[in-house]
Amino acid sequence: MKSFNGRVAAITGAASGMGRALALALAREGCHLALADKNSLGLEQTQTLIKSSTLSPVMVTLQVLDVSDRQAMEDWAARCVADHGQVNLVFNNAGVALSSTVEGVDYADLEWIVGINFWGVVHGTKAFLPYLKASGDGHVVNTSSVFGLFAQPGMSGYNATKFAVRGFTESLRQELDLQRCGVSATCVHPGGIRTDICRSSRIDANMTGFLIHSEQQARANFEKLFITDADQAAKVILQGVRKNKRRVLIGRDAYFLDLLARCLPAAYQALVVFASKRMAPKHRTPVFETNDETRL
Ligand SMILES: NC(=O)c1ccc[n+]([C@@H]2O[C@H](COP(=O)([O-])OP(=O)(O)OC[C@H]3O[C@@H](n4cnc5c(N)ncnc54)[C@H](O)[C@@H]3O)[C@@H](O)[C@H]2O)c1
């Protein structure tokens, strides 16, 4: 797909961050939009921003939904086609983050993140695929993460969902290539991008004293690692779609971690453990009081 002008794109997670930036960038190129999120206020703000920043008017429809709800996603896909006449692109972008040890993580938190980050992507892909094929020129864009290429401690739930999105999308791309059906797929692996994800992430209490000093400090430190802005990320994603790339990396941090995992596919883990130990709170070494009687 070389041009987005006159096309129709469906975007999940469009109330904030990269989803909003994608919506704005596509609108500027004359692409009509079907935007979904669980946050209705954020969606309306995205729509207002589009109206105030777009030269040529595009059609924008909004849908409040939870991407982990399969029926809601199927209904939304059908509504997009009813409203816009066709859909050419789906960006399965909505996502959340979770920080916890494997031992301490609640099943409810794991189900929450898998429901959104993995099932949300599966629901969006399967619900829209028949319509993308019918459009004759379609593209599925699924957002994984650099943590879909590289694992780290305290992120098992996030890592699991993002590795799963990568496997799912790479397999899909190969099927679409074999079918030569006019639809393609791209998997996106952003590094740290300045968005709201850190504020909305769940950090389990079991991380305090293990890998972090306090929740507040961890969020602040995490945000320092977000080196790319969302508009730049959207630009890189859309360039990747134009070039029909299989994999899109965003940010020099993503390129660095990808290279590390390629050069040291298993041994990189030892480096991560070493770095984590240096950054983790120092475990208090027991102090034994001595007095003259005990001292030999
Ligand atoms: N920001 C980063 O550093 C970074 C890095 C790698 C990958 N990612 C991925 O990029 C994607 C976009 O995240 P972002 O950084 O723009 O974060 P963000 O928090 O700014 O945006 C995520 C959006 O998803 C929505 N959302 C969350 N749960 C939902 C649900 N159940 N149903 C519908 N909408 C829901 C939120 O309301 C929010 O508007 C996510 O998949 C995230 O995992 C982000």
Q: What span, in angstroms and rounded, lies between the C-alpha atoms of 158 and 152?
A: 10
Count of domains for the chain: 1
Residue 68 CB–ligand 1 contact under 6 Å: yes
225 C-alpha to ligand 1 centroid (Å)? 16
The pLDDT score that the predictor gives to residue 283 is: 57
- The pick from 24, 195, 219, 224 for probing ligand 1's pocket by mutation, whose C-beta has the most ligand atoms within 8 angstroms, reads 195
Residue 157 CB–ligand 1 contact under 6 Å: no
Does 295 map to a domain? Answer: no
Does 21 map to a domain? Answer: yes
Q: What is the pLDDT of residues 241-293, one digit of tens each?
A: 999 999 999 999 999 999 999 999 999 999 999 999 988 887 543 433 334 44
61-84 as b/e, with b when 16 or more CB fall inside 10 Å?
Answer: bbbbbbbbbeebbeebbeebbeeb
- The pick from 37, 64, 144 for probing ligand 1's pocket by mutation, whose C-beta has the most ligand atoms within 8 angstroms, reads 37
Does 84 map to a domain? Answer: yes
Does 289 map to a domain? Answer: no
Active-site positions read: 158
Does 225 map to a domain? Answer: yes
Does 219 map to a domain? Answer: yes
Residue 94 CB–ligand 1 contact under 6 Å: yes
Residue 39 CB–ligand 1 contact under 6 Å: yes
Q: What is the pLDDT of residues 199-222, one digit of tens each?
A: 889 999 999 988 888 888 888 888
Domain residue limits at 209: 8-279
Q: Whose CA is nearest to atom 40 of ligand 1?
A: 95
Does 78 map to a domain? Answer: yes
Q: What is the pLDDT of residues 100-140, one digit of tens each?
A: 999 999 999 999 999 999 999 999 999 999 999 999 999 99
Identify the CATH number of the domain in which residue 212 sits.
3.40.50.720
- Do 99 and 218 contact (CB within 8 A), yes or no? yes
Largest CA distance in the chain: 89
Does 15 map to a domain? Answer: yes
Q: Which residues pair with 248 in a beta bridge?
A: 188
